[in-house]
Amino acid sequence: MSRIGKKSITLLKTIEADVKDNLVTVKGPKGILSEKISKLIKIDRQVHDDNTILLLSIAKSIKEARQLHGLSRTLINNMVIGVTDGFTKTLEIKGVGYRSQMDGKQLILNVGYSHPVIIDPPDEINIKVDNNVNIKIEGIDKSLVGQIAAKIRAVRPPEPYKGKGIRYKDEVVKKKIGKAGK
């Protein structure tokens, strides 16, 4: 049995969760998220005081159900966190002449190519730029925030010799020793 899958998910008063035909919809102050859960996972709802508690259990004891148990609980929990607090990822740009700016909703990156790279985020994602080198990505869907952050980082990943490029905040880039001169 999954240790993570056994944990309950507590919903506060401000959060509503609906389960219909294994489609879980979570509504909160920041928005609405929905996720299709496998039919091998059963969701039970219990009401305690002011809070609602969701418990996930395995419908059939087969290997695939045990694999999906913890994953399903984590996906629902991430939806609950997303509609209450939201998720953020912060990127830093290092390098001489490397900078970024916002043009409306588009992010424009000047990171050493002969042309600027333009990234057009989806409507659910907000991007902010501070001091031309710090990029903050915010949204309610954890996977979408991570995917957009990875897409921006992939434009110019940090290189191991000088450390130039786009990196996550607090990411440690191991530097290599350059070629020895004579």
Q: CA 87, CA 143: separation in Å to the nearest integer?
A: 9
pLDDT of residue 180: 79
Taking the domains of the chain in order of start, what are their residue ranges? 3-84, 87-168
More confident site: 2 or 54: 54
Let me know if the fold of 3-84 is the same as that of 87-168: yes
| Domain 3-84 top-level CATH class | alpha beta
Kindly report, residue by residue over 56-75, the tens digit of the pLDDT: 999 888 999 988 999 999 99
Q: Which residue has the tokens 């005081």?
A: 49
Q: Which residue has the tokens 């953020």?
A: 88
How far from 154 is each of 28, 94, 99, 109, 169, CA to CA, in Å? 32, 14, 15, 12, 15
pLDDT of residue 1: 61
Question: Domain spanning 87-168 has what CATH number?
Answer: 3.90.930.12
pLDDT of residue 182: 66
